[in-house]
Structure 1
């Protein structure tokens, strides 16, 4: 006979926490762990000595006190800090594609709950020397992660398919898992196209660092967070971005992975610009 005993108080607490985690609206990940580390490493290479020194002071005491070491902290919140993970879930994305990629704060970012407003708000906290070290460190962690997020096109894409999460695809060589499909377009852009390169971080970083930073009509890049989101969204509207069939053709990856890598490069460039300004001496 099975011995069924009442749950202990500690077991009930663990069970309740697990149920809470399952009930939380989980933010879609952007770039996956490697992509976020690469954006952070590219930014570090572009930071001034003064900004690096400030960042190093803030990161002291972290398990991995580097920008790449904290780059995925915001995605890990849903497991490590469910309350903050829930409150910040909408900070990872914005839906602009239904509006032809034109940002309107009142329509697209109510109560500041979107990646555009979150980057700006967390950057302001980071730059505020009157804030505590813990507040500024948390802001740094959000800024490093969310600037990576905003450069993933599907984090500024359509609401109706949850940024490509509902666009199911079958990738050759991978087992089908759900309804005949094994993945989705969002996951492909997050990590699968990058992991297909089979590059470790140092080798991939060296390759990304050689990519010239693009300009727009020779006039430089958008300097504001909303402009970054709008440009990311425009990629998701380009012909061919959404595969014509749900069985992924090999040429899709060869066509679009270079675009993803340019976005990583831009993410690193913009993150360096933001950190250099926010951590400038006397700022």
Structure 2
């Protein structure tokens, strides 16, 4: 029997599993697995990757199923440390893998720039030897290479799903000294919609609170919403909404750019004064009114945000997730389907 801690990636049967196979063994105890803090939040990443999965071509989906060993109940591979065995059955849950500890590619979750930077002109890592651009390039190359093992390609696919989610989260394109807003204490007056999520810093507000108050709250407000739904079902219904509100023309425009553009989109949001991430001072964006940057022994500043902040930025967070999902589908289709010529209309699209 597969240990529960290793089978957790297979607990999500709602989309990927229901499409082509059910791995019953891993259902035991899934509801008891605790939630952990993840970039974009667990539900954000699940939404991005399910949206991408639903926009794969038949050829891409068939190849994805094949490398996941769908007909055999999933793939068992060595974990990142090379010793532990893990079992994977679904792509969307696999997109959470890069946030598992210890992180194999910790630097690839971000682009850290100097505080005088005003734009991201190219897909190069400006500070340090690695960043999200390096992760995208490395793992897309592995995914495309059919001479690589299924194990290598599965890890690469799951990682690409995570990187494309991360590059669209604005505070992942930010400054190293405050850890992308993790070192800015924050509270939201009134909470994040009707969810129980309670962020403790600005990064967490963007990871989860804005989506809980916006995209996922819309699902909770639907007449057909049921409190008895499986815990992750809300992400699948959110994807329904994103598909139904994105035309083919919009999708085609979304995917006609590259990761440098996506990172710069995120960074321009990060720099907006109303985001309260940094304080403009000439060409620089300082940590606070009194500090250019945050030192290791400095006290973290605090912000208190209200419903007006959620109303302003929840739609932006939703749009970043939407962009990430469609763009991820495009990259996977390019990697797995040699006949792919660009987006085609989905059945739910207007």
Normalised by the shorter chain, which TM-score bucket? 0.7 to 0.9
Aligned residue for 1:208?
242
Question: Per residue, is there more strand in 1 or in 2?
Answer: 2
Separation in structure 2 between the aligned mates of residue 147 and residue 51 of structure 1, nearest angstrom: 18
Conservation of the 8 A alpha-carbon contact between 1:109 and 1:117: no
Q: Give 4+ residue runs of structure 1 displaced > 4 Å after superposition.
A: 103-107, 213-216, 218-222
Q: Per the alignment, do residues 251 and 273 of structure 1 end up closer, same or farther by CA in structure 2, a change over 3 Å counting?
A: same
Aligned residue for 1:265?
322
Aligned residue for 1:231?
265
Matched, 1:68 2:92: yes
Q: Bigger relative contact order, structure 1 or 2, given CA contacts below 8 A and separation 6+? A: 1
TM-score, with normalisation over the residues of structure 1? 0.76
1:36 aligned to which of 35, 45, 58 = 45
Question: Per residue, is there more helix in 1 or in 2?
Answer: 1
Conservation of the 8 A alpha-carbon contact between 2:190 and 2:306: no
Separation in structure 1 between the aligned mates of residue 97 and residue 254 of structure 2, nearest angstrom: 31
Q: 1:1-283 alignment to 2 at 5 Å?
A: 29-60=38-69, 61-62=74-75, 63=87, 65-76=89-100, 78=101, 82=102, 85=103, 87-96=104-113, 98=115, 99-103=117-121, 108=126, 110-111=128-129, 113-173=130-190, 183-196=200-213, 197-198=216-217, 199=219, 200-212=234-246, 223-242=257-276, 246-281=303-338
Q: Per the alignment, do residues 219 and 105 of structure 1 end up closer, same or farther by CA in structure 2, a change over 3 Å counting?
A: closer
List alignment gaps of at least 5 residues for structure 1. Answer: 1-27, 175-180
SS of structure 2 residue aligned to 1:163: helix
Separation in structure 2 between the aligned mates of residue 90 and residue 266 of structure 1, nearest angstrom: 23
Render the CA deviation track for 1:61-118: whole Å, top value 9, x for unaligned.
1455222121101112x1xxx3xx2x4000111124731122466661543x100111
TM-score, with normalisation over the residues of structure 2? 0.62
Q: Per the alignment, do residues 161 and 215 of structure 1 end up closer, same or farther by CA in structure 2, a change over 3 Å counting?
A: farther
Separation in structure 2 between the aligned mates of residue 135 and residue 204 of structure 1, nearest angstrom: 30
SS of structure 1 residue aligned to 2:275: coil
Which deviates more from structure 2 when the two are superposed, residues 56-65 or residues 32-41?
Answer: 56-65
Aligned length: 241
